[in-house]
Structure 1
Amino acid sequence: MSPHTAPPEWQAYTMPDYHAAMTKACTALLQRIHADAAFRLSILTDPRDLHRTLFAQFTPRGHPEYAGTYRGTVGTSLEGRRSGAPQLFTPQKSFSFEEPENVAAQLDFMLAEVRRELVPARSAAPYVQLLTLTHLFCWFGKIHPFLDGNGHIQRALFAAAAVEIGIPLAARFAIHPRPFDSLLAWPLEAFTRASADEREPFIGMVAEYLSSWLAGPFDQPASGIAPEDDPEAGNDS
């Protein structure tokens, strides 16, 4: 490739046999998440090997580094690689994910915080447990560390953290195919675009949706909505 030729964009789902292979791989992945505690903690520490395992066969020719490499990784075609998406309500405009030079540090910090919260979350109230999972889900989406395939890793991390906390996953949950739509995509976009003091309402909206992927206490009505006396919900009553 000429040094002046830009590396290709990447949409893994356009590759041959993607859906059949990913359905099989993600079914096995979810079974392993349930069965293997060491594996759960490994992907909650560094999800690059998981991303490589899932997506190596779907990378563009000549770019194997797209699988298992964070955006911004120095010395690769992902160095300086920015990422964004069209805005849902104004598709002629786009929004950006984390700047590439910040990706690794931001993700390492976020995952360390999540791992630190796992043990106390096991004895916390259900909504506090849900918030732990929601913060993981929202921040991973905001950072968007991989060029493609972030949603699959995001859902795998969500599942791993839920199992670690002791919350059963609902039968409707899947890592593949994607089990959500614009009802979740909109608050995730809003969280990504919001300033620090504007994020809290969108956390609550995402939490309410994510509760539908959980069973156990979350099978109860209104279980995904913050209790009125919950300080985490920003209510002082």
Structure 2
Amino acid sequence: MNADGPELVEVDARTAVPRLEIPLRPVVVVVGGAEGMVTDVLDGVQQLFRSSLVPLLDEHKITVVDGGTDAGVMRAIGLARSAAGGRFPLVGVAARGTVAPVGAGTAGTAVPEPHHTHLLLVPGSSWGDEAPWLAMVADVLAGGRPSATLLVNGGEIAYADVERSLERQRPVIVLSGTGRTADAIADALAGRPADPRADRIASRSDLVRAVPVQAPDELRSVLGEMLGVTSD
């Protein structure tokens, strides 16, 4: 990462990924809420990431891939990495038309999260255009090693992100108690009435697990199991 924020790469992601010079290693894809997260929930998620997730990622040299902008869960993981002195690669993947220079964001754009190590700007002008690229970048960076998706909160796009993971047989952890899509899927997994899209995702219970946001040890354990690493 340079002093002004993440390294920006504005080329076709399929050719750009090897240029990042990130060693192939297990990958966590973080998806979910951007501007739609309640402040106290976001603060709790950031603390959970700092105390529980970042040490696991560093210990096992795991790469994280997310949307890369300075909002919601992406801000939380960036701030947690910085506060905890994390060293793992944190790679953002964003549609080119949705990212603005720092200080120039508008209602339809966002600025990069400054604690990410890399930001890939991929084709697209709308939120969600990055979703297939994000999934593909995670595949390339994993290089056949285990990967998992962590869903925190989330809106409409989060359903598509989770479904793309399941299409790839990538297991998904739903952080329940964080609201919206994550809680809808957790409800469906528990047999409670839920959105039909959540029901469809929950039907893949072989690949989808709900973990309460108040259970840091369980998060480490489940994620470690999915990635094939030992959680101390």
After TM superposition, the score normalised by the length of structure 2 is 0.26
The structure whose Rg is larger is 1
More strand by share: 2
Q: Which has the higher contact order (CA 8 A, sep 6+)?
A: 2
After TM superposition, the score normalised by the length of structure 1 is 0.26
